A and B are shown apart, each in its own frame.
Chain A
Amino acid sequence: MQQEFISYDQALALKDLGFNEKSLAYWFNETPLNPEGQCLVYYRKPYDNVGITNGIIREYGWAPLYQQSFKWFREKHGLYVDIFVDDNKTFGFMITHFTSEGRVDSPVKYNHITYEEAEQACIDKLIEIVKL
Chain B
Amino acid sequence: MNKEFCTYKQALALKELGFDEPCFGRWIEPTELSISAPSDDKYCQKQHEVTWTALALLFQQAFRFFREKYQLQHEIVYDMSDDLTNKVYVYTVFGTDRSEEYKTYEEAELECLNTLIKIVKSK
Contacts and interface: CB of A to CB of B under 8 A. Distances in A.
Given A43-B37, A46-B1, A68-B4, 18 more contacts: A1-B24, A1-B38, A4-B58, A22-B1, A24-B1, A24-B4, A24-B24, A42-B24, A42-B39, A44-B37, A44-B40, A65-B60, A66-B60, A67-B4, A80-B77, A82-B76, A82-B77, A115-B64
Contacts of A19: none
A4 B60 contact: yes
A45 interface: yes
Interface residues of B, number: 26
B75 A84 contact: yes
B94 interface: yes
B36 A96 contact: no
Given A45-B36, A67-B58, A115 B1 contact: no
The residue among A24, A71, A103 with the most chain B CB atoms within 10 A of its own CB is A24
Contacts, number: 54
A74 interface: yes
Interface string B13-50: 00000000010100000000001111110000000000
A65 B67 contact: no
Given A67-B4, A83-B75, A46 B35 contact: yes
Nearest to A43: B37
Interface of B: 1, 4, 22, 24, 35-40, 58-61, 64, 67, 73, 75-80, 87, 94, 105
A80 B78 contact: yes
Contacts of A45: 35-36
A122 B87 CA distance: 22
A74 B78 CA distance: 10
Nearest to A80: B78
